[in-house]
Chain A
Amino acid sequence: MSVGFIGAGQLAHALVKGFTSAGVIATQRIIASSPDTDLPTVAGLRKMGAILTTSNKEVVNKSDVLFLAVKPHIIPFVLDEIGPDIEDRHLIVSCAAGVTISSIEKKLLQYRPFPKVMRCMTNTPVVVREGATVYATGTHAEVEDGKLLEQLMASVGFCTEVEEDLIDAVTGLSGSGPAYAFTALDALADGGVKMGLPRRLAVRLGAQALLGAAKMLLDSELHPGQLKDNVCSPGGATIHALHVMESGGFRSLLINAVEASCIRTRELQFLADQERISPAAIKKTTLDKVLQAVSKVVSQIAPYSPPPQ
């Protein structure tokens, strides 16, 4: 079985790193495409032994499981380009936030009667095999396809199937979650430094504290509220600190953050569905290169013009 990636950015890099470290697939059986060969992630992928190419078509031809690992607004262009090359064997897995299965199927149905599409939302810690992944199954994907994807993604962390309408919430929680954690860790380290710790030690201890706490929770039947209580001795340091956190609205901030990320994901999905792309959202060079590649293959695509304001 070969795995292909359209797009060789952070996501592809993280997944390949995880897959190869898990030994779930040999690196020679991984191929990735990117219009921009200067990306550090491209170099990283090459170093891991994956095949790199600028041709999306080549990736399609040389893979069975095909990950779409490009930014959401690029997806429609990519689908138009690779549509004709999709075969029955292909399992298309989109990792693009906010891009619905139905929008992908709609595009591909122009080229193939029963495109096998799945949608997944993962997160960056797949790179250290502690990812959190959910996937939803498209109209023509079989049970075995789900099992296959689950096997791949379970090698790099937690993976479970969900109904597609939950994916936005997952994005808000575990998709963006590592960013919340990094922010928290940065601040915790600052706290440590303020109280006299050297920075490196502060970072190390903060990260270990969160890692350990997460592991305790995952291994325990107890509610996190109960675990919290177990740490707070009466009148002690921790309960004082917790009060400070409550006073700062810590909990509601986190709820707000998950909500904001989820809502933004839905907004992006809405924009994508209309195929309206804000010019600011695209790095001009990347879009130029994508369009060049696309126009070489499908000469009927209209030249890019800014959407009506």
Chain B
Amino acid sequence: MDSNLRIGFIGAGNMAYGIAKGVMQSGDVPPSNVKVSAPSARNFGRFQELGVAVTHSNAELVSSCDLVFVAVKPHLITTILSEITDHVTRKHIIVSVAAGVTLATLQGLLPFDTVVLRLMPNLPCLVQQGALLFSRGTWARQEDGDLLRSLLQHCGLVEEGPEAWIDIHTGLSGSGVAFVYLFAEALAEGAVKMGMPSALAHSIAAQTVLGAGQLLRDSGKHPAQLRSEVCTPGGTTIFGLHAMEQGGVRAATMTAVETATERARELGRKSVPTATENRK
């Protein structure tokens, strides 16, 4: 990777922070090559602690960076992109992190052959354990994808896919994080019901989810295999699992992912109005 590559973040929220941390983790991008812009200085503190430069001017950021993450809320996309479009050149790589905003919309708001990629991270990017899926726009080449992948590798799991998978990723992993929190809460409550103090139950529940997740990821085994391995004949686990099956947890989970995905699709359709009228 070019050690002079300059990375910019429009928006200084949680996603920008998590990604920035991951980008600088490998050491390939020094903090001096990273800049963040936001209207207020409110969120600059933690970026500055990392040694990242700050600015209030999106235009200035774009002009002084090669790869720009647009990490603002979806409803601000039109405004932001209209603001920066005059400063975007063929050498730029624009990566949008805005949920539900399609590549077509993004490309419509920027100069004709801009290299655009769409990235869907998830919350655990904050702790470098994210699941990130990106999709390449019309003029983003293989090497642009490879560059993004290598920048993000310390943020967690990074995969590329067609744009159609991004909504599914949202349902599975974006919202999926919340499903896991729901499950963890319920685990803890079960323990509280059986007599364990709440704080301890929650702490153990969190570690259980974490540990199981790590084992799943690192063992390469199918979850069904791992599940079977925990179930001794006539033991506690198989009894508990039976209760879960009777509760239809599998079907509910499948439906949850389905519902969240459909909603992501719906929001994508409703998304930012095509901004031909905003083009200069």
Contact = CB atoms under 8 A, between A and B. Distances in A.
A225 interface: yes
A255 B251 contact: no
Contacts of A224: 224
B225 A255 contact: no
B222 A229 contact: yes
A246 interface: yes
Given A252-B245, A255-B242, A255-B245, A246 B251 contact: yes
Interface string A214-227: 00000000111110
B246 A249 contact: yes
A246 B242 contact: no
Contacts of B228: 223
A225 B224 contact: yes
B250 to A, nearest CB: 5
Interface in A246-263: 246-249, 251-252, 255-256, 259
A81 B254 CA distance: 60
The SS class assigned to the A binding surface is helix
Contacts of B222: 222-223, 225-226, 229
Interface string A248-286: 110110011001000000000000000000000000000
A243 interface: yes
Interface residues of B, number: 15
B248 interface: yes
Interface in B208-237: 222-225, 227-228
Contacts of B258: 243
Interface string B244-280: 0110101100110010000000000000000000000
Contacts of B223: 225
A243 B224 contact: no
B107 to A, nearest CB: 26
Interface string A84-104: 000000000000000000000
B167 to A, nearest CB: 12
Interface in A150-188: none
Interface centre among A246, A248, A255 (most CB of B within 10 A): A246
A33 B246 CA distance: 46
Nearest to B243: A252
A248 B242 CA distance: 15
Interface centre among A223, A248, A249 (most CB of B within 10 A): A223
A250 B170 CA distance: 28
Contact of B251 (A226, A247, A259): A247
A259 B238 CA distance: 12
A17 to B, nearest CB: 33
Nearest to A222: B222
Nearest to B248: A249
21 contacts: A222-B222, A223-B225, A223-B228, A224-B224, A225-B227, A226-B222, A229-B222, A243-B254, A243-B255, A243-B258, A246-B248, A246-B250, A247-B248, A247-B251, A249-B246, A251-B245, A251-B250, A252-B242, A252-B245, A255-B245, A259-B242
Given A225-B222, A252-B242, A252-B245, 16 more contacts: A223-B222, A223-B224, A223-B225, A223-B228, A225-B223, A226-B224, A229-B222, A243-B251, A243-B254, A246-B248, A246-B250, A246-B251, A246-B254, A247-B255, A255-B242, A256-B246
Sorted nearest first, the 7 A-B pairs with minimum C-beta distance are A225-B224, A252-B245, A246-B251, A247-B251, A252-B246, A223-B225, A226-B222
